[in-house]
Amino acid sequence: MQYVSRAERGAPAPKRDFTNIDSTRGVKVHYEGTEVPAGLAAPDQHGQCAARVNAIEQSHLNHPTENYISIAYSAMVCPHGTVYEGRGLHHLQAANGPGLNSQHYSVCAMLGDSGLTEPTDAQLHGLRDAVEWFQRDGGAGPEIKGHRDGYATSCPGGPLYAWVQAGAPRPGSTAPAPRPTPSAAPSGPDWPGVYLRATTHHEAARIWQQRMRERGWPIDVDGWFGPASAETARRFQQDSTAHGWPLDADGVVGPATWAASWNRPIS
């Protein structure tokens, strides 16, 4: 593995100590999502890659609302196949979305939605190197997923997500890569078919209230979806929308809000 540590790339110290984690279910693959210059993949441009990681880290530190303490990703991989340490091993990352950050590490490819959009073979090797590093030394489980799995986003883009769906094989591999182990996450019950709005008395209200309590929202678990529960729902909808998971802030728990409560894809 071609590897550059935080110290080697001149990363700033995190604003606070990283939160330690023992293990994850696996790794989620990301891309930058904005334009990445097509010329970055040229061999003579490799010297720009560490600076690009540092610039992304600085943009995260300067984010006006997210309160990042460091770069959000566990690692980044450039078009030349080098793995740049982000938050690194056994540290909680911040790129996968609300409620999802402790479940997987994150590795971001230097790819965009314009310019450089197709991963190079070297980059795919680097992504595999990063995944195997997290599995070998970081307690990562076997799952290899895209950011969009369980979160409403187009990341990691069509070409890279197709590679993830194919099992994230190394280029030139003659044997198919093992498929990711089926995941119980995003977990949670199916929508019960009952819209929860003030005032609803139903067992579904108790289930949803318990889920909100598990997520840290102060709410009574009594099976009565009254004004207080509706206000919690409205605030949860606003919070989800602010983090890229759009919901109508109407205080009504329908199919989309129910799914989002368990971090499930919104159908």
Confidence at 266, pLDDT banded by 50, 70, 90: very low
Higher pLDDT, 265 or 113: 113
Note whether residue 132 is domain-resident. Answer: yes
pLDDT in tens, 28-86: 999 999 999 999 999 999 999 999 999 999 999 999 888 899 999 999 999 999 999 99
Note whether residue 155 is domain-resident. Answer: yes
Higher pLDDT, 225 or 110: 110
Quick one: pLDDT at residue 119? 97
Range of lowest pLDDT (10-24, 67-81, 186-200): 186-200
- Tell me the CATH number at 218: 1.10.101
CA–CA gap between residue 80 and residue 101 (Å, rounded): 27
Average pLDDT over residues 205-214: 89
Confidence at 244, pLDDT banded by 50, 70, 90: low
Structural domain including 148 reads 3-165
Note whether residue 183 is domain-resident. Answer: no
Contacts of 157 (CB under 8 A, 6+ apart): 31, 33, 111, 112, 113, 117
**Same domain (yes/no): 151, 77:** yes
Residue 23 has pLDDT above 80, yes or no: yes
**Distance in Å from the first CA to the final CA of the chain:** 39
CA–CA gap between residue 233 and residue 252 (Å, rounded): 7
Distances (CA, A) of 19 to 5, 30, 67, 191, 248: 18, 21, 14, 33, 32
Identify which of 24, 168, 16, 217 has the alpha carbon closest to the alpha carbon of residue 102.
24
Encoding tokens for residue 242? Answer: 């602010």
pLDDT in tens, 171-188: 987 544 444 443 333 457
Note whether residue 94 is domain-resident. Answer: yes
Residue 166 has pLDDT above 80, yes or no: yes
Quick one: pLDDT at residue 187? 57
Confidence at 238, pLDDT banded by 50, 70, 90: confident
**Same domain (yes/no): 204, 148:** no
Average pLDDT over residues 122-148: 95
